[in-house]
Amino acid sequence: MQNVKLNNGIEMPILGYGVYMVDPSITERCVLDALSVGYRSLDTAQYYENEAMVGAAVRASGIPRDEIFITSKLCQTRPSYAQAKENVKGSLRRMKLDYLDLMLIHWPMGNDSDIWLAFEDLVKEGYLRSIGVSNFYPETYEALVKNASVIPAVNQIETHVFYQQRPMVELMARYGTAVESWGPLAEGLNGIFSHPALMEVGNAHGKTAAQVALRFLIQQGIIVIPKSVHKERMIQNMDVFDFELSEDEMAAVRRLDTGHNLEGWPADALRYNP
């Protein structure tokens, strides 16, 4: 597994397993499958209502805690500093964990500087190893860092072959914030798994369209967390480290960018701050 070194020196696997919309009744089994085939980074969130099952799978796996990188995300509108701290401790209680490797603000919550101060203090107190944001676009991201002592380690944003977000990727590079892709397989939409351009590139390497889509992101240093509840697809999605896209192949995939997210909104539409 290839790692990304975050701006605090901590190493995060460049490929992990996401559990959005994985039903709580099967989450423990799915996470155990993912761990059994080699995933060592897990992405959950309070909003997904399956944090407890992710924690249960980590314990049931028998894999030492420090060998698994675990992310969750705060979801609470306008919490005070004290409420934000309590909120994070709620995730730890549900997951029965002593610490999280990465905690994100799931989207701009309205008083992000208070949440951020709570996150910074939770790092000092040993509850969080790294802190970051998700769905923060230039306005909300820059408003946050203006008052921050710690620059976000990660910004988890929608990005995939159809929505490449090059300006955001460049902005994050300037700040030293790693980009993590949510929906790296475009949530299975736009015919991604049988897309002719992706299949053509894949055929040249004996790989699927899904593997080309993931490789395209990884090759730019973007962290990916594909989701599947099927073990064989989990294996397929991890099998992306034994080939490389040429510059021409990268250029061919770059041409698939529509400039719009899956809802058909431009990035600017997500720059809201309730």
d(CA 204, CA 26): 36
Least Å distance, CB 247 to ligand NAD, is 25
- The correct pick among 18, 79, 108, 202 for binding ligand NAD (CB under 6 A) is 18
Q: Is 175 tagged catalytic?
A: no
Residues 179-238 that bind ligand NAD (CB under 6 A): 182-188, 193, 210, 225-228, 233, 236-237
Least Å distance, CB 59 to ligand NAD, is 20
With both helix axes pointing from N to C terminus, report the angle between 81-95 and 51-61 in degrees, rounded to the nearest 10: 40
Least Å distance, CB 124 to ligand NAD, is 25
Between residues 84 and 186, which has the closer beta carbon with respect to ligand NAD? 186
**Is residue 257 classed exposed, middle or buried when 0-12, 13-18 and 19+ CB atoms within 10 A define those classes?**
middle
Give the CA distances from residue 90 to residues 53, 127, 234, in Å, rounded to whole numbers and listed in that order. 14, 11, 29
Task: Cite the beta strand spans of 55-152 per DSSP E.
Answer: 69-74, 102-105, 131-134
Q: Cβ(153)–Cβ(131) under 8 Å?
A: yes
Build a one-symbol-per-residue string for 78-117: x at contacts with ligand NAD by CB under 6 A, - elsewhere. Answer: ----------------------------x-----------
User: Which amino acid is present at 124?
Assistant: K
Least Å distance, CB 75 to ligand NAD, is 10
Applying CB under 6 A, the residues found at the interface with ligand NAD are 18-20, 43, 106, 134-135, 156, 182-188, 193, 210, 225-228, 233, 236-237
Catalytic residue numbers read 48
